[in-house]
Amino acid sequence: MNEATPGGLQVARRGAVALLTMDRPPVNGLGAALRLALAQALDEALADPAVRAIVLAGSARAFSGGADVTEFGTPAAAREPRLPTLIGRLEDSPKPVVAAIAGVCLGGGLELAMGCHFRVARSDASLGLPEVKLGLLPGAGGTQRLPRLVGLERALNLIVSGAPAPAASFAGTALVDALVEPSAPGDVVEAAVAFAETVLAEGRAPRRTRALPVEHPQAEAFLQFARHSVAAAAGPFPAPRRCVEAVALSVTRPVDEALRLEREAFLALMATPESRALRHVFAAERAAARLPDLPPDTAPRPIASVAVIGAGTMGGGIAMSFLNAGLPVVLLEQTQAALDRGVATIRRNYESSAKKGKLSAEEMARRLARLTPTLQDEALREVDLVVEAVFEDLGVKEAVFRRLDALCRPGAILATNTSYLDVNRIAAFTTRPADVVGLHFFSPANVMRLLEVVRAAHTAPEVLATSLALARRLGKIAVVAGVCDGFIGNRMLARYGAAAHDLLVAGATPQQVDGALQRFGLAMGPFRMGDLAGLDIGWATRKRRAAEAGVPMRPVIADRLCEAGRFGQKTGAGWYRYEAGRREPLPDPVTEGLIAQFRDEHGVTPRAVSDAEVVERCLYALVNEGARILEEGIAARASDIDLVYLNGYGHPLHRGGPMFHAETVGLPNVVRALRRFAAEPAADPSWTPAPLLLRLAEAGRGFGG
Ligand code: NAD
């Protein structure tokens, strides 16, 4: 007997043992159809007098990766048998049930395995309850069964961290009754069938996890300690605390009541904005890796060597990212002095990691050995990829790209790290625009996870596919952007900066604006950020742009600071003042004087500005520009924009990014506020709600991912 059910379950018989094999690639997600198939197969096995024991198995790759996350929040998730029901029925089985575990056994998958009476696992199987990473807790008995199988303390650590552990590390606990080495003859399924036969031969009764005691000599004291340490580390997320409370129930309440309370806590967490945000980001990262119009079979080009041009702030960090990923890097500079400075900075960064114990001396030596600093552009002839990070000046970029075109081998990818310049114009400096792409790294490039991949008009699909694959190799998150001034991130940032500036003019102080945004969750407000990055950079850009456009500069307060020599941290003063050798921003009456003078010149009487207004204006400025970016097709989806802000601009994970935040607030509310700002006297026209935003708000829709 060997039959497949429509739910993705194979049913077979091995003597007196019924073998149920989940077969729903890729990871046996426990969607409604598979749950139903499992419940029916269980009923049949129980009804069949020839069956005396049951083995539940998955594939070599996955016992089960857990709940089907695409089902969350849909009617299918609530369809019986829900997971807790199925697990309860499995556990109640009068015939022994043995789980055969290989590959991943995570979340609901582990909860299912814990509902079985015995478990046989390959020693390298990965066991864990990662629900907390999505702002949830294990809601199908995990918080009650795991403490009974591995002890209170270990269970709590696993559930609160969400980190998986190899099955071998559970040797000696009731979580694994037998381990199978990967090298052993026969697989885990054969071992589980043999285990079931032994159970039958010995006449052992089913061992129901829920009936086991929770072992801990000083449970109350331990739980109290756990509550404190978890509360301190959880930040704005409620899930870790709820995990502790749920695990505590395994000690304080009868198991049936505890299981009911666990389920209630799970459903309550499911409805929290923090969990919604985490699930949004999880889906966003998966979506960003797929480009809607990239043929799925587009093969990336192999990248075995790279060159970075310019060893300044960005070039050095970009070179480190490649070195860290094991790639050999040619680093090209114009002068020996600049090259030496760049290499010294790279070395210093590695030394500081080594001192902190994050990098071994051998690994540091290996990374530095992969670096070839040079002044000779002949060194570029054979590399597979060049990333240009020279001065932000079209003339300088032109000279570099003409040279690359002449030198590089056919098929080499020519990338620019420009922040604002037109990648189509840069591509046109070469005879091979299909090989040109923007790879916009963020500072510090060896640390920041974001990589904006700028797709120019003629960028070839394989070049995009290569850029996405490369980002994964570097441990970065790639988001594809179209060509426009500032791409996704910096184009929106310009609106945000203008909104923050106008709040100062209206009556706020830099510390108030920064404070309000930091309390909202940003790593750093715009004025602290400006002081850190250096105000002279924006000043130079504004002057250059005004000169290029032949128009006078729009006056802004930052110009006054720069005229007074206040460039930020590096000069000891900017928006804030800094004491020698310290980075703490201190409010400065000089700045307040300059702001007051600016208001006077513009005939503004200062008014009170609330924290809520600061957050509304700064966030909605981002959202409105984000909607325009979406409408123009510069970003493929709203969730891509969120990833840019979460990974490149210090936005808080628990808010899910600015576009998701706007949906949480409700798009009609965002539109209402934008209309209010746009109607103010002398309002900047950019406050006018974007047409896309208006349409979605009127239709009662969201951005749709
Ligand atoms: P930087 O001034 O620190 O470094 C530029 C380096 O390029 C200098 O060391 C210079 O000697 C070198 N250089 C100039 N012309 C060269 C040539 N023809 N050949 C070889 N080397 C040459 O500048 P940066 O901040 O690293 O910025 C570099 C690029 O990265 C710019 O396009 C900038 O817009 C972009 N960018 C900067 C940031 C940032 O935060 N600084 C972030 C993202 C992107």
Atom of ligand 1 lying closest to residue 400 CA: 18
Q: Is 111 annotated as catalytic?
A: yes
Q: Can you list the alpha helix ranges (DSSP code H) found in 48-187? A: 75-78, 83-92, 108-115, 142-150, 152-161
Residue 1 pLDDT: 44
Cross-strand bridge partners of residue 54: 18, 97
Domain ranges of the chain: 4-270, 306-485, 488-507+607-633+635-704, 524-601
How far, rounded to the nearest angstrom, does the alpha carbon of residue 226 sit from its chain's CA centroid?
Answer: 27
Q: Please state, in angstroms and rounded to a whole number, the distance separating the CA atoms of residues 515 and 523.
A: 10
- pLDDT tens for residues 200-257? 999 999 999 999 999 888 999 999 999 999 999 999 999 999 999 999 999 999 999 9
Nearest CA residue ID for atom 25, ligand 1: 313
Residue 195 pLDDT: 98
524-601 CATH fold: N-(1-d-carboxylethyl)-l-norvaline Dehydrogenase; domain 2 (1.10.1040)
Fold matches, 488-507+607-633+635-704 and 524-601: yes
* CB-ligand 1 contact for 419 (6 Å cutoff): yes
Q: Give the distance (Å) from ligand 1 centre to CA of residue 421.
A: 13
pTM: 0.93
Residue 571 pLDDT: 95
Report the side by side order of strands in the sheet with 97-101.
2-5, 9-14, 17-22, 53-57, 97-101, 118-122, 178-180
Which DSSP string corresponds to 479-496? EEEESSTTTTHHHHHHHH
Which one is catalytic: 131, 245, 262, 462? 131
Q: Give the distance (Å) from ligand 1 centre to CA of residue 643.
A: 25
* CB-ligand 1 contact for 212 (6 Å cutoff): no
- pLDDT tens for residues 193-207? 999 999 999 999 999
Q: Is 190 annotated as catalytic?
A: no
Whether the bond into 444 is cis, omega within 30 of 0: yes
- pLDDT tens for residues 147-198? 999 999 999 999 999 999 999 999 999 999 999 999 877 799 999 999 999 9
pLDDT at position 5 over 70: no
Nearest CA residue ID for atom 31, ligand 1: 392
Of the residues 335, 341, 391, 404, which should be mutated to test ligand 1's pocket, given the most ligand atoms within 8 Å of the CB? 391
Find out if CATH 3.90.226.10 is the number for domain 4-270.
Answer: yes
Helix 489-506 with 611-631: angle, nearest 10 deg: 150
Q: Give the distance (Å) from ligand 1 centre to CA of residue 550.
A: 26
Q: Give the distance (Å) from ligand 1 centre to CA of residue 408.
A: 20
* CB-ligand 1 contact for 389 (6 Å cutoff): yes
Which one is catalytic: 91, 111, 197, 616? 111
Atom of ligand 1 lying closest to residue 388 CA: 29
**Domain range 306-485, CATH architecture:** 3-Layer(aba) Sandwich (3.40)
Atom of ligand 1 lying closest to residue 316 CA: 26
Atom of ligand 1 lying closest to residue 441 CA: 43
Report how far apart, in Å, the C-alpha atoms of 152 and of each of 146, 553, 580, 626 are: 8, 65, 50, 47
Nearest CA residue ID for atom 39, ligand 1: 443
Q: Is 450 left (phi over 0), alpha (psi -120 to 50) or beta?
A: beta
pLDDT at position 623 over 80: yes
* CB-ligand 1 contact for 391 (6 Å cutoff): yes
- pLDDT tens for residues 426-460? 999 999 999 999 999 999 999 999 999 999 999 99
488-507+607-633+635-704 CATH fold: N-(1-d-carboxylethyl)-l-norvaline Dehydrogenase; domain 2 (1.10.1040)
Q: Give the distance (Å) from ligand 1 centre to CA of residue 307.
A: 14
- pLDDT tens for residues 470-491? 999 999 999 999 999 999 999 9
